[in-house]
Amino acid sequence: MIDNGRRLLAVGSILVLGLLVACGTGSSSGGGTGSNANCNTSQPTQGVTSSQITLGETLPLTTAGPSPQQTVDGSQAYYDMINAAGGVKGRKIKLIARDDQYNPSMALQQMRNLVQQDKIFAVAGGQGTPNFLAQAPFLNTQAVPAIAPYAPSSELGNMKYPHVYMTSVNYITEFQIMTRRVLDNFSPKGFGLVGVQGNVGDDSKQGMKQAIGSSGKPLLYIPEQPGTPDLTPIATQLKSSGADWVFLILTPSDTGGLLKAMQRIGYQPRLAAWAGMSDQTYIDQFGDLSQGMIVAQELALPDASDPDVQKYVQQFTKQTGRAPSGFNNSLGWSQAELTVKALQDAPALTRSCVEYALNQVKDFKTGILPPITFGASERQGVNAVGLVQIEGKTVKQIASFKSV
């Protein structure tokens, strides 16, 4: 708990002090729940000492290829830059990233470890929808703020989980926009969709069906268990359906594995995929199989001319000695940037005051994400998607960010 230098007061002054404790809403009760998140400067908390703020996240560090570690690297680079400049309110930031193996039960246990053993102050970032959905109810009961987790689910970004602040557009919106692009610019005979089983695939299917509407185009949906060792049966099923467009929302390694299976059986449909496939690491490894793939764009391209984007690229390169890889480095950096803003703007380093600060965020520009806005009852900070296409060893933008 941060005392803010408050001296002991006489008993007769306590009632006056009670009126001064709360900020932002005029309530002395404080608390960080619901749509009226107050700033309680005397709220008991953990993860904050006189010299350190401890944050945590979980990611599939050992089961989804190199991408999640690159997200951690992006966040750590930003925190290193902030720490070198003196930290936040005189405190250095420590980030603990735990491996959840893209497994919901493991993810929940790891989050419990972060909160109950590592004593983190807040969740900052993270990556993976099924794993975070398993954690969200626990975080809700513990009133732990979760800032910008990458879990683009329709279950999040609303007041069902008021402590979760989203900056990723859900997959319903993402796949609706991509499907509409294909319908408007091509003449598809039919669609296939292969997605991580559960909410990820279900949301993507819903978005595609909304776009297809009354056009009568068939859609074959195949749910996939992450880490499936042999993807040939899925490739064969897609080929047999006659789908000439296949949409993918899998881990990068599973995406590459499925594309290799398609190649082996001589099946070459047009492709579309979720935003992570724009990362340079994926393109370097599987770009030869992904030429022409349409990819949802959630983050600015590092080569964009926007001054805010170029500032980010320059800072990242100076901090790490290399250019950002694209999606994953950028994702981690933006997660950390929003987290630091909330910590800096909070009237005190308590959880309720950090949520109070987040609720005041209006049109915050990271140089990576579209402008972020939250509010007392608004947890979806970004609601815009663009489109890019893989060409050669890079991507080019084919549709600018559009709010929906």
Q: What tokens appear for 38 in the block?
A: 């107050």
CB atoms within 10 A of CB 126: 29
Residue 40 included in any domain: no
Residue 305 to residue 174: CA distance in whole angstroms:
24
Mean pLDDT of the region 248-253: 95
Percentage of the chain lying above the pLDDT 70 cut: 91
pLDDT of the residue at 259: 98
Mark whether 226 and 183 lie in a shared domain.
yes
Question: Does the pLDDT value for residue 12 go beyond 90?
Answer: no
CB atoms within 10 A of CB 320: 16
pLDDT of the residue at 404: 66
Kindly indicate the confidence band of residue 32, based on its pLDDT and cuts at 50, 70 and 90: very low
Report in angstroms the alpha-carbon separations of 297 from 83, 177, 211, 368, 371.
30, 11, 18, 11, 14
Residue 348 included in any domain: yes
Annotate 21-36 with b (16+ C-beta within 10 A) or e (fewer).
Answer: bbbbeeeeebbbeeeb
Q: What tokens appear for 81 in the block?
A: 């830059």
pLDDT of the residue at 64: 81
Mark whether 267 and 349 lie in a shared domain.
no
Pick the closest to residue 110 from 92, 93, 94, 128 (CA basis). Answer: 128
Mark whether 221 and 319 lie in a shared domain.
no
Domain with 94 in it: what CATH number? 3.40.50.2300
Mean pLDDT of the region 233-246: 98
Average pLDDT of the chain is: 91
Question: Does the pLDDT value for residue 2 go beyond 70?
Answer: no
Report in angstroms the alpha-carbon separations of 116 from 93, 109, 354.
19, 10, 20
Mark whether 183 and 279 lie in a shared domain.
yes
Residue 240 to residue 238: CA distance in whole angstroms:
5
Mean pLDDT of the region 46-72: 94
Residue 226 included in any domain: yes
Percentage of the chain lying above the pLDDT 90 cut: 87
Residue 330 included in any domain: yes
Q: Is 346 left (phi over 0), alpha (psi -120 to 50) or beta?
A: beta
Mark whether 194 and 342 lie in a shared domain.
no
Mark whether 263 and 394 lie in a shared domain.
yes
pLDDT of the residue at 33: 39
pLDDT, tens digit (0-9, with 9 covering 90-100), for 308-340: 999 999 999 999 999 998 899 999 999 999 999
Q: Would you report the helix, strand and coil content of the chain in percent, each value rounded to 5?
A: 40, 20, 40
pTM higher than 0.75? yes
Contact 259, 289 (CB under 8 A): yes
Q: What tokens appear for 404 in the block?
A: 């929906």
Mean pLDDT of the region 59-65: 89
Residue 228 included in any domain: yes
Mark whether 58 and 163 lie in a shared domain.
yes
Domain total of the chain: 2
- Determine the Cα angle at 127 with ends 170 and 309, to 5°: 75
pLDDT of the residue at 4: 41
CB atoms within 10 A of CB 45: 20
Mark whether 116 and 203 lie in a shared domain.
no
Mark whether 312 and 250 lie in a shared domain.
no
Q: 140: part of which helix (H) or strand (E)?
A: helix 129-142
Residue 316 included in any domain: yes
pLDDT of the residue at 326: 87
Kindly indicate the confidence band of residue 248, based on its pLDDT and cuts at 50, 70 and 90: very high
pLDDT, tens digit (0-9, with 9 covering 90-100), for 296-314: 999 999 889 999 999 999 9
Mark whether 77 and 156 lie in a shared domain.
yes
Residue 397 included in any domain: yes
Kindly indicate the confidence band of residue 85, based on its pLDDT and cuts at 50, 70 and 90: very high
Mean pLDDT of the region 359-375: 96
Residue 326 included in any domain: yes
Kindly indicate the confidence band of residue 211, based on its pLDDT and cuts at 50, 70 and 90: very high
pLDDT of the residue at 253: 93
Mark whether 177 and 155 lie in a shared domain.
no
Question: Does the pLDDT value for residue 6 go beyond 60?
Answer: no
Pick the closest to residue 193 from 131, 271, 265 (CA basis). Answer: 271
35-39, 137-141, 281-285: which range is least confident on average? 35-39
- Determine the Cα angle at 151 with ends 334 and 229, to 5°: 115
Residue 104 to residue 114: CA distance in whole angstroms:
15
Residue 206 to residue 204: CA distance in whole angstroms:
5
Mark whether 279 and 397 lie in a shared domain.
yes
Question: Does the pLDDT value for residue 394 go beyond 70?
Answer: yes
Question: Does the pLDDT value for residue 28 go beyond 50?
Answer: no
Residue 270 forms beta bridges with which residues?
Answer: 245
Q: 237 φ, ψ to 5°?
A: -65, -40
Range of the structural domain that residue 221 is part of: 171-297+387-403
22-31, 97-106, 169-178: which range is least confident on average? 22-31
